[in-house]
Structure 1
Amino acid sequence: MLAQNFKLDDYLQRIHYQGEITPSAVLLKALMQQQLFHIPFENLDVLAGKGISIIPEDIVAKLVYQQRGGYCYEVNGLFSMALQALNIPYQLVAARPMFYPMKRPKTHMAVIAKVEGQEYLCDLGFGSYSIREPLHLADCNQTIQQDFDTFQLLKEGDEYILQALVEGNWINQYGFNRCPTEFIDFTPANWMNSTHKDVIFMQKYLIVKFTPQGRTILFGDQLKQVIGKTTQVQTIQLNDVKTVLREYFNLTMPS
């Protein structure tokens, strides 16, 4: 995935990464976590009725130079640009969100990267219960602990299902297979997620920023701070949203 305005040094500065850039599993984890810690998942432009451009140059301009966040096509798209700049092979996968009561189309985008001969699922844009670091595909069908969160990647035939342990229950997050997918293939899904009135992104704030201790989430008028196994929740008044965006997510409200 190419963008004429993508500069690796600027991306690394944006995510506050200053370590080695030799391709390795250690680097892959560091890049993913640093981006999660500094570029939030957010739907502010969708709520503002601006729509979402997934032209690669627009993604770079918004997330790197305008200091904004984005949703899956943007944050995972940016991450894939960094992988390409570092000569790390990757594949985009179309995933089906599975926590809805009815079957949904494959509208989510994730990334599988290959380093040191091993493949890892990377995902920086699935919101509340996204993985916190690359998930080794060889660790299928077993419990995987990532800091304070617990996951499983089940594999049946050619299909993978990511599960998260939520309040003692295994909850399906999304499913995918290895069918080749290009970035342009997500154009219809992006249009639906940024314009359809029934999509959650059109209805309320959904902003997530990971921290070394957990994550901070603004969902509608509920601000949740997850610190380890503890969750603190407070209700936010409409006139306080701008302050919450600035203090908790380092974001400004789009005009």
Structure 2
Amino acid sequence: MEAQNFTLRKYFDRIGFQGSGEPDMETVAGMMRCQIFTVPFENLDVQAKKAVSLVPEEIVGKILDRQRGGYCYEVNGIFAMALQALGIPYQFVAARPMFYPVKRPKTHMALVLTVNSQRWLCDLGFGSYGIRAPMRLDQIDVEVRQDGDTFMLSRTDAGEYLLKALVDGEWTNQYAFDLSAQEWIDFVPANYLNSTHPDAIFVQKLLIVLHNPEGRKILLGDTLKTVANGKTTVQAIRPDERVAVLFREFGLEAAAA
């Protein structure tokens, strides 16, 4: 995944990364943590009925130059550019969201990378219960604590990897995937579905998520939910407050709305 206007220096400045930049897991974990704390998961373009571009240079312009965020293809795409610049092998994987009441297509995109012969799941774009650090694929049915959240990778009867999150004391399936390598262009149909189909949540409601060390902030429609140290507060947002909330809580300029 490359873009002519991408540089590691620009990426590091955008996310506030101050690590060594060595091609190792310390750098990967540091970049991932910095990015999810600074680059929001957001669907403002979808809500504005604008096409979500998968052109790599346009993703760079949106996230690095205009200080925006994006959904899975965009935020994982910019992370893939950083991995490639570091020389870290990775592949895209297509994942099936599992929290819907009916079976859905594999519309989510995540990354699997390899460092020192170990494979790791990285995902910076799954919204509310997205992982916060890389997860080793060989650690199956092992509880992994990440800040205030707990995750687990299991295997399905079909042999796929299944990511689960502990939500309100119960394990909740998030998504399943296998290691069939995907190319960037393979996500064009899923991007179109997620950005145009009336059943897609991104079409139905505004959704913005920004993680922080204590938890996360979520703007869903006209409701702002703040999760901090295990406690949740909910606040109704009036239409005339939205621009101020976007900037104050998520660092998104009014022009982005």
Normalising to structure 1: TM-score of the pair?
0.98
Worse overlay, 223-232 or 87-96: 223-232
Alpha-carbon shift at residue 95 of structure 1 (Å): 0.1
Deviation string 1:115-160 (CA, Å, 9 cap, x unpaired) is: 2321110000000000011111121111111111011100246310
Q: Which residue of 1 aligns with 2:239?
A: 238
Q: Which aligned pairs between 1:66-215 and structure 2 lie closer than 5 A? A: 66-156=66-156, 158-215=159-216
Q: In 1, Cα distance between the equivalents of 2:142 and 2:105? A: 27
After superposition, the CA RMSD in angstroms is 1.0
Q: In 2, Cα distance between the equivalents of 1:170 and 1:109? A: 22
Deviation string 1:27-76 (CA, Å, 9 cap, x unpaired) is: 11100000001100000000001120011011000000010000000000
Q: In 1, Cα distance between the equivalents of 2:245 and 2:15? A: 21
Q: In 1, Cα distance between the equivalents of 2:250 and 2:70? A: 12
Worse overlay, 117-126 or 92-101: 117-126
Normalising to structure 2: TM-score of the pair?
0.97
Q: In 1, Cα distance between the equivalents of 2:192 and 2:110? A: 17
Q: In the alignment, does 2:45 pair up with 1:45?
A: yes
SS of the equivalent of 1:45 reads helix
Q: In 2, Cα distance between the equivalents of 1:224 and 1:134? A: 25
User: 1:8, 1:82 within 8 Å by CA — same for their partners in 2?
Assistant: yes
Q: In 1, Cα distance between the equivalents of 2:33 and 2:154? A: 23
Q: In 1, Cα distance between the equivalents of 2:71 and 2:186? A: 16
User: 1:25, 1:116 within 8 Å by CA — same for their partners in 2?
Assistant: no
Unaligned residue ranges in structure 2 (runs of 5+):
none
The percent of aligned pairs where both chains have the same amino acid is 55
Q: Which residue of 1 aligns with 2:28?
A: 28
Q: In 1, Cα distance between the equivalents of 2:170 and 2:97? A: 17
SS of the equivalent of 1:93 reads strand
Q: In 1, Cα distance between the equivalents of 2:207 and 2:29? A: 25
SS of the equivalent of 1:153 reads strand
SS of the equivalent of 2:4 reads coil
Over 3 Å off, 4+ runs: none
User: 1:158, 1:178 within 8 Å by CA — same for their partners in 2?
Assistant: no
Q: In 2, Cα distance between the equivalents of 1:209 and 1:39? A: 7
Q: In 2, Cα distance between the equivalents of 1:35 and 1:13? A: 11
Aligned pairs, how many? 255
Deviation string 1:176-229 (CA, Å, 9 cap, x unpaired) is: 000111111000000111111121101111100011111111011111111121
Q: In 1, Cα distance between the equivalents of 2:60 and 2:163? A: 28
User: 1:43, 1:201 within 8 Å by CA — same for their partners in 2?
Assistant: yes
SS of the equivalent of 2:41 reads coil
